[in-house]
Structures are given as C-alpha cells and as structure tokens.
Structure 1
C-alpha cells in the first residue's frame, strides 16, 4: 500500500484508532499538492496567518503574522506570497530562510473557516516571502471560538522577554484563561530536507481550542507541564502523528485583549488511557507538553479582538 500522503507517525495513530484503511482511501483526495480556488480566496481575505518553522536544533516554533487584508496572495495554485516577515524578536525570524520547510494555517476566526498550506520557502525578500505549496488541505470548523479582529494603532515596541521553563506569572495566567492556541510540529528533526516524501512529511501548524481553562497547567517531574485534551477530529493526525515521530512542539498563545504573543518550546508526549484521561470528559487522548523555554512578546500584534462566541461543540 502506498504510504502517501501520510507518514509513519500518522499511520500509526490511524491504525490505533481503526481508521487506517479508510484514511488511505481518501487521503489523496483531501491532501493535495495544490490549493483549490476556495482556499486561495480565503487566504486573500485574512489579516493574519499562522506560521510554523524549525530552528537549527529541530525545535518547531509557531507565530502569527499580520498585515492588511490582501497581504497574502496566490498567483497560482501552488504558490503563496506573503507581504510580511516575522519581527526581529520573533523566535521564528532567524529560521525563515530559502528552502526552509514551513507550515501555514489561514483561519478566518469569525466564520471559523480554516485551511492549511505547507511547503518550502522560496524568493525570500526584505518585505516578504514566497511559499511553494506541497500540501494543501482544509479543516472543519470544530472547536474554534468566533471573534473579529480590529486594527489598532501600533504602540512603541516593547522588548521580548525570554522565559525559563517555569515561565512567569503573566504567561501562566494567559495559559490558564486561554481558549485558543496554535501548535507547530514537524515530521522529523530536519523536516523538508528531502523532497522524496514531500506529500507526507514536513512542518505543520494547527489550531487547538476549548473553554477557558482547557489548558491544564501543573508542575510535573520535568518542570511545568501543559496538558491539552484531544477531541475527535478528522483522523488525519497531522499534529499528533508528527509528535509521535518527532516529539517536539512549538506553541503560540495569543492574548486577544492586548495583542501579546506567548511562544513556547516543549517536549511532547501522548497519553492514550488511564486516570489522567478520565479527568477530561469527551477527550480521546491527552497531549502532554513539558515546557523547555519560551518568549513573551508584549503587544506584538496591532490587533484587538471582539468578545468570543464559543463553538457549539462545548454546549455553551
């Protein structure tokens, strides 16, 4: 059986869940090497774009880029152009280079539409960069809190603060009240270096959402541990499959009230059963993230967001 478009980590989780053959049948139909027109149209409407990349140690990092509507364009079905670059203090900035594997997630928060486009950086310039799309697929609107962004006047830049594994009070408080975060992951320590498995391997960035408090913060044997419930999804297992293959994750947690961004690097593990899972009703498994270090970037985005509307899956 041809492994494309899923790599061994994704296949293992699909097999564990009993959907391996079904996902193989539909995989090539939903994970494409080009963007359908509706995906290209969505990207062009957005004021933000989520981005994931790896550093030289293989650690994934996630960030949120922003620009005026239209800062993302698609000249053809296999190309995205972004007229934006990560700020110099963004942990992604040093690793956005020609040929680097990256993951992109376009999310229109107020409609809950989201699409992914993963690939390789091309034509890197001072004001932006181009992406050769190798993987394109959509996601359902589940677990997304609807909210609208509004541009505000940018304040004077405040310096980024490096955080040790224990983090600090403001970052822990943000995690405990968060209803949304994003996770960057990779299929290997050097994802994207070989084009042989371009359809199944690379860097990815995905959304996680829940009611405020869904991120469980506790001190574990390795320091600060974050636990996220994983609910039933599309059975692709793009994120968890990556983390099974290469257990490092990069998180970005937006503060929708003041535009700050919390970036975290973590070691990942997956809990499939036991008392810990029983404590999260409805969860299929748990994603456990041991924090290694992070960055707090105050007022990084010149955006503020409306009061969220909870997704219907949470019955609120």
Structure 2
C-alpha cells in the first residue's frame, strides 16, 4: 500500500491526481525533523481527532503553555494535557487509541500533521508516531493569540443547530475535521476560506467546497472508506468551541463544483450530535488577515433554514 491506503488511492484516482499524490508521498515519514521539534515546542494548542466508544469521530483541541508539546524522540510525542471531562474524547483517551493531530500556528501560517497511537500517562499523553508531515500554508488566516483566564461553561448537547449556531457557522473562516480509515486510524486536518465558505443547508446539514490541496486526499480518502467524521469550529474571539459529529459524503460531480468559486469537489456533512462549550479555551485571537489563496465564498443558498 505504500504511503496511502485504499480509500486515499480511490480519491486520488477519481480526482485524476495519482501522479501528484505519488510526488507528495515523499513528504510523509515517521520521524519528526529537528526544526519541527522546535516548532512543536512553541505551540500553545494542538488539534486532535479520534473515535469515541460509540464509533463517533470527534475533533477537539488541547492547550497549554509553550513546551507542553514535546518530542521525546524522533518517533514519539508527549503532550502534557488531556481533554477536559465532558469533552467527547475525554473517555476515549483514558486508554490506548489511535489519534490524529494537527499543530497549526496562525501567526506564521505554518502547520504540521501527525498520526499515531496515544497512551495515557500521569501528565497527559504519550504518542508513538506512524505518520509525520508538513502541509502548505494555503487557506490559513493569520491571527495573533492572547491568553486570558478561562472559566469553561458546562458543555451543551443538541442534535440540531440553533439559530445562533447557524449564524456563527455561516461567518466561520476556519474549521478542523477529524476522520478515520477503515481500521480506525485517525487524522486531523484543517479547512479554511473566506466567511461563507461553510454553508449550513438545514439544522442538520452542512456543505463546504473542497479546494486545491496537496493531492494526498487523506480526509476524502478516509471518507471513501468510513463516512464518520467530526468537526471542530472555534470561536476565535471568545474561546468557545463547537464540536459536531456525523457522516460526510463527497460529491464528485464537476458540474456541481463549477457553481462554487474555487471548488474542485463538494463535501456534505450530516450532523448527528453537537457539543458546544462556551469559553472552553484560554486563547483568544485577533481579527484575521485572510489568506490570499481563499476563493470568493459561494452565494448564499436560497431556502436554507436555521
């Protein structure tokens, strides 16, 4: 299978980018480069993705003082933090499980993806890595962080988006998506665009365009073999986190994609469960400088309801 699993190869072939994917595969390794260790040590937040006991996939984040993420060796990582009680991944990470991770620095638009098996420790997590690679800075909005004391509210659960949540998602410029392959190997990735690129279609359905990327198709390849996915949408101004789990499908019809600026494909997401935690993060972020790579957002959908 090489660097890619069956679902990724299907997605690469459907997109007509097998040769591009083979070229990109050279970037995938199992060891953390020295310069990347320094990068990780500077980060105050890391996005994670995994599966709960019910088989639902969730994306979440861990925060700490710079240095809370450290490379214990070339193929291992230590994170001095755990998801808080009430987080959908709190229980899952109390025992060994496969974890997808994304360290992203909005200030410099740098990001790094890592996947591996996480073991709980007294101080957090120890991860034995099986995949490490950098991603390009496309579609990352530049922001500066500020830390302030946070008093997280109790998580609020629902099955449908409220009017307030729908409005929030319509204005989002960034979200993170967690997926897994057929064997449960998790991945966490980033999606960005101008406000409006993430479109609520109804209280239980979302849609977004899939823009030009690195041709690896890790996320869409996972969806090919396992439709379960989780989204994390941060409120950068308040530290509130909106977590959604559900199922995703990819619309490969080029005629449908033509209607959305910059879209190569369209992804639709059906919501099964929502968790909102107000003021969950101690980090707030400045007003964004939007990426110059962001295509114009799609036109609002007539008839879409909250």
Judge conservation of contact 1:97–1:121 (CA < 8 Å) in 2.
no
1:229-308 matches, cutoff 5 A: 229-273=209-253, 276-308=256-288
CA distance in 1 between partners of 2:24 and 2:250 (Å): 25
How far does the alpha carbon of each residue in 1:64-104 deviate from its partner, in whole angstroms, 9 at most, with x for none? 11001111011211111011110101111111143300001
The TM-score normalised by the length of structure 2 is 0.93
Judge conservation of contact 1:53–1:101 (CA < 8 Å) in 2.
yes
Give 1:281 shift: 1.4
The TM-score normalised by the length of structure 1 is 0.90
Alignment partner of 2:204: what SS?
strand
Match of 2:301 in 1: none
Q: Does residue 1:79 correspond to 2:76, yes or no?
A: yes
Match of 2:167 in 1: 173
Q: Does residue 1:65 correspond to 2:68, yes or no?
A: no
How far does the alpha carbon of each residue in 1:124-181 deviate from its partner, in whole angstroms, 9 at most, with x for none? 12431110011001100000001011101223x31110011x2212221221110000
Give 1:315 shift: 7.0
After TM superposition, the runs of 4+ consecutive aligned structure 1 residues lying more than 6 A away are none
Judge conservation of contact 1:231–1:284 (CA < 8 Å) in 2.
yes
Question: Any unmatched runs of 5+ in structure 1?
Answer: 192-201
Q: Does residue 1:163 correspond to 2:158, yes or no?
A: yes
Give 1:26 shift: 4.9
How far does the alpha carbon of each residue in 1:159-216 deviate from its partner, in whole angstroms, 9 at most, with x for none? 110011x22122212211100000000002x41xxxxxxxxxx200000001111111
Q: Does residue 1:144 correspond to 2:151, yes or no?
A: no
RMSD of equivalent CA atoms:
1.5
Give 1:25 shift: 5.2
Give 1:56 shift: 2.1
CA distance in 2 between partners of 1:265 and 1:276 (Å): 25
CA distance in 2 between partners of 1:315 and 1:218 (Å): 20
The 3 A distance-change label for structure 1 pair 233 and 26 is: closer
How far does the alpha carbon of each residue in 1:2-56 deviate from its partner, in whole angstroms, 9 at most, with x for none? x2110011001111222224533552x2111111112222111100000001012
